Structure 1
Amino acid sequence: MLDFAIFAVTFVIILVGAVLYLYPIQITSMAFCSLRDGNLQDIVNRGSLHEFLVSLHQEFGSVASFWFGGRPVVSLGSVDQLQQHINPNRTTDSFETMLKSLLGYQSGMGGGANETMIRKKVYESAINNTLKNNFPLVLKVVEELVGKWKSFPDAQHTPLCAHLLGLAMKTVTQLALGERFKDDTEVISFRKNHDAIWSEIGKGYLDGSLEKSSSRKGHYEKALSEMESVLLSVAKERKAQRKQTVFVDTLLQSSLTELKVFITSCDLTVCIWALDFLSTSEEVQDKLYQELEDVLGSDPVSLDKIPQLRYCQQVLNETVRTAKLTPVAARLQEVEGKVDQHVIPKETLVIYALGVVLQDSDTWSTPYRFDPDRFEEESARKSFCLLGFSGNQTCPELRFAYTVATVLLSTLVRQLKLHKLKGQVMEVRSELVSTPKDETWITVSRRS
């Protein structure tokens, strides 16, 4: 009898061990409020999808799931898990996938992986040609802003967001869509509709509040209709021209079945965050100034000199990391896959909790401190590259934003010093893109 008992216990232990080894580990998930809303109310209560993901991963670990409405979503919150998932899913654009997925995307739409790769190559070529053809325009717009700031008295408070959003929108619209946006009224109208659309995509769709407000939905749909009308009008105008000098010209000449111009808030806010962080550190400003003097001397920055500005690149990398510029991205699980021993079923939307990873203390030392010197370390550069913010996986739009930001920093820092007003802290609104909650103010002074 004793022998049988020992055998039975041993058999059960072996059986349980085999089941645990062979059977896929379930992803830890959060309970949801209702089949219709899922965890939407939890997201609303936290204030944003990013803040919800922070709490989700704190409670359930680096691989967790939740319900977006009636749809299951898996979230990955560490570099190791992201690396495992990114490698077999390189063919899709993570930011576009997230937008389409959360707004009703199904796999198989948009031309598939081949068209996605073609689109990325077309975008990269278009952006490279646009910057090459229009670099003097970027310099001109930046120099106008710096000249305006130089005329201010040292103690004058300067609204950072208002000035730099104006700079970014002027640059983006003229380089993307052409001469039509030399007219300030066109730029102002475009910006108004752009802000209305992105505000609702970043919040109204995610928390379900847009559908509950007819006035907000009407405002959003009006802005979207006006934006589409402008883009169609621009396309018609540009087709009539023989010269190809701006971004949309290349798109119109391509063979893509679906043409879209994504002018994201990511492109427009990197300059704001960079100057805000610089205004808090005279040491970083001086180090950047010295590099600019060594590399450029008295000459203006040029496209061929930008790769030599390594510390400037570190400043921008650290800006993106510290500000959590793009706190969430996603990919659609085209086929069943695994992360560690966690099975991810086909058709699952996989969220990349980049805002969580970018301030993970296991990956970054003193993660909440703005420290461009951290990118002198190979490990930091490798982690940043794995997250898609540098290297071959960088989205073309971010490369464009880095170029404009480099022109701004190289022009501004050689002539002026930035100073943060005492007691002022820029609060972050982390939705699909991290933006300042309120206006932030600085003062500037001439370099002696």
Structure 2
Amino acid sequence: MLGFALKFVTRMVLGSTFEDEQEVIQFQKSHGTVWSEIGKGFLDGSLDKNTTRKKQYQEALMQLESTLKKIIKERKGGNFSQHTFIDSLVQGNLNEQQILEDSVVFSLAGCIITARLCTWAIHFLTSSGEVQKKLYQEIDQVLGKGPITSEKIEQLSYCRQVLFETVRTAKLTPVSARLQDTEGKVGPFVIPKETLILYALGVVLQDPSTWPLPHRFDPDRFADEPGMKVFASLGFSGTWECPELRCAYLVTTVLVSVLLKRLRLLAVERRGFEMKYELVTSSREEAWITVSKRH
């Protein structure tokens, strides 16, 4: 799933297909090294304590940035029919460094979030037959035998509820951070300006006072306005929704629609599924499912 997401990011988001196979391999290797250290080395402080790992990280980051600089230069100098994320940055009021930094963030986080959302959505659909049946009926009604278009995707309201509930139940991003741009106050405590605030999203997303039966996978939570308002305030929908997650919703909708139109997704019996909480939640082991053809 991670390989699928990485290919999608390079093709549809960065506007590059990497004709050279070695360049693909190098990009994937650099991508994996950088993300691994961001998810671990910076969080636990171990990167600065290991000279070899730090050197590998710096070399991988330089390689990743070099590739992205090449893509940015191509998009600036070419006349492409397909508009990509890179094009939006290039055409905006940003300097070279800002374009590069945003490209790095999107290519890293966008890829990982997309891959994990796809994985978790499929997992929860295999464990909830009623949800899968209801989603298939919506996909069949909206898409029919025609192609998937952006207009039809907008009509898949229950699919969006399924993805929202997937993000909540899996605690897809269990922690986030924001720099306090003004002085704030929580009870008797004053939060100075420019303080780094950590949001314990993994706790908030399963707070029983907000989400009844919080560990139950129930997309109908988002059929009503209250659930949507809470989700929007956390950055998972609405005007605060992060670009990487918006991309992940789109890709996962297409993937799930294609799969469910043709296949029934079934769980593998007696196989455990343990969550691994990092910057983006993953499974500790490979996720296995079985499928059967729809008639």
TM norm. shorter chain > 0.5 = yes
**What code does the residue aligned with 1:346 have?**
K
For 2:150, what is the secondary structure of its paired residue?
A: coil
Q: 1:417 aligns with which of 264, 282, 288?
A: 264
Whether the 8 Å CA contact 1:169–1:187 is kept in 2: the answer is: no
Task: Quote the residue 1:18 is aligned against.
Answer: none
Is the counterpart of residue 189 in structure 1 residue 23 in structure 2?
no
1:181 is displaced (CA, Å) by 3.1
**For residues 65-93 of structure 1, what are the alpha-carbon distances to aligned partners after superposition, in whole Å with 9 as ceiling and x for unaligned?**
xxxxxxxxxxxxxxxxxxxxxxxxxxxxx
Pair 1:316–1:174, CA change in 2 (3 A):
same
Q: Which residue of 1 aligns with 2:51?
A: 214
Q: State the Cα distance separating 1:231 from its structure 2 match.
A: 0.9
CA change 1:372–1:188 in 2 (3 A) is farther
What's the CA shift for 1:255?
Answer: 2.3
Matched with 2:287 is 440
8 A Cα contact 1:429 1:435, kept in partner: yes
Match of 1:251 in 2: 89
**8 Å contact kept, 2:170–2:281:** yes
Structure of larger gyration radius: 1
* CA-to-aligned-CA distance 1:319-355 (integer Å, 9 cap, x gap): 1101111111122122321124432122321111111
User: Residue 184 of structure 2: which of 337, 341, 359 is its match?
Assistant: 337
After TM superposition, give the deviation of residue 244 of structure 1 in Å.
5.5
State the partner residue of 1:173: 10
Residues 185, 319 of structure 1: alpha-carbon distance in 2 compared, 3 angstrom cutoff:
farther
Q: Which residue of 68, 72, 77 maps to 1:231?
A: 68
3-state SS, counterpart of residue 270 of structure 1 = helix
Corresponding residue for 2:174? Answer: 327
- C-alpha contact (below 8 Å) 1:173/1:187 kept by paired residues: no
* 1:230-309 alignment runs, 5 A limit: 230-243=67-80, 245=82, 246-257=84-95, 258-259=98-99, 260-261=102-103, 262-263=106-107, 264=109, 265-309=112-156
SS at match of 1:304: helix
SS in 2 for 1:338: strand
Shift of the alpha carbon at 1:285? 1.1
DSSP 3-state at the match of 1:445: strand
1:165 Cα offset (Å):
1.6
Residues 13-412 of structure 1 mapped to structure 2, 5 A cutoff: 164-181=1-18, 185-243=22-80, 245=82, 246-257=84-95, 258-259=98-99, 260-261=102-103, 262-263=106-107, 264=109, 265-412=112-259
Question: Relative to 1, partners in 2 of residues 1:184 and 1:405: Cα closer, same or farther, differing over 3 Å?
Answer: farther
Cα deviation per residue 1:140-166 (whole Å; 9 max; x = unaligned)? xxxxxxxxxxxxxxxxxxxxxxxx222
Aligned mates of 2:6, 2:85 — CA distance in 1: 15
**Whole-angstrom CA distance in 1 between matches of 2:163 and 2:50:** 38
Report if the CA contact (8 A) 1:280-1:419 is conserved. Answer: yes
* Aligned CA distance change for structure 1 residues 225 and 367 (closer, same or farther; 3 Å): same
**Alpha carbons 2:16, 2:71 under 8 Å: kept:** no
Distance 2:22 2:142 in 1: 38
Q: Distance in 2 between matches of 1:358 and 1:382?
A: 13
Which segments of 5 or more consecutive residues in structure 1 lack a partner in the other structure? 1-163
The answer on whether the counterparts of 2:114 and 2:252 sit within 8 Å (CA) in structure 1 is no
Decide whether the 8 Å contact of 1:324 with 1:354 is kept in 2. yes
Q: What CA deviation, in whole Å up to 9, does each residue of 1:23-42 have, x standing for no partner?
A: xxxxxxxxxxxxxxxxxxxx
Q: Is the partner of 1:400 in helix, strand or coil? A: helix
CA distance in 2, matches of 1:185, 1:284: 42
Q: TM-score scaled by structure 1?
A: 0.61
Give the TM-score taking structure 2 as reference length.
0.91
Structure 1 residues 141-199: Cα deviation after superposition (integer angstroms, max 9, x where no partner): xxxxxxxxxxxxxxxxxxxxxxx222211111101222433665544432222121111
CA distance 1:238–1:387, shift in 2 (3 Å): same
Please state how far the C-alpha of 1:435 moved relative to its aligned partner: 1.9
Q: Which runs of 4+ in 1 moved over 6 A?
A: none
CA gap of 1:206–1:423, structure 2 versus 1, over 3 A, is: same
Residue identity (%): 54
Q: Kindly indicate whether the alpha-carbon contact (under 8 Å) linking 1:421 and 1:441 is maintained by their aligned counterparts in 2.
A: yes
Aligned equivalents of 2:21 and 2:275: distance in 1?
28
1:180·1:186 contact (CA, 8 Å) conserved in 2? Answer: no
Q: CA deviation at 1:240?
A: 2.6
CA distance in 1, matches of 2:22, 2:129: 37
The Cα offsets for residues 1-39 of structure 1, whole Å up to 9 and x where unpaired, read as xxxxxxxxxxxxxxxxxxxxxxxxxxxxxxxxxxxxxxx
Q: Is the 8 A contact 2:172 2:281 kept in 1?
A: yes
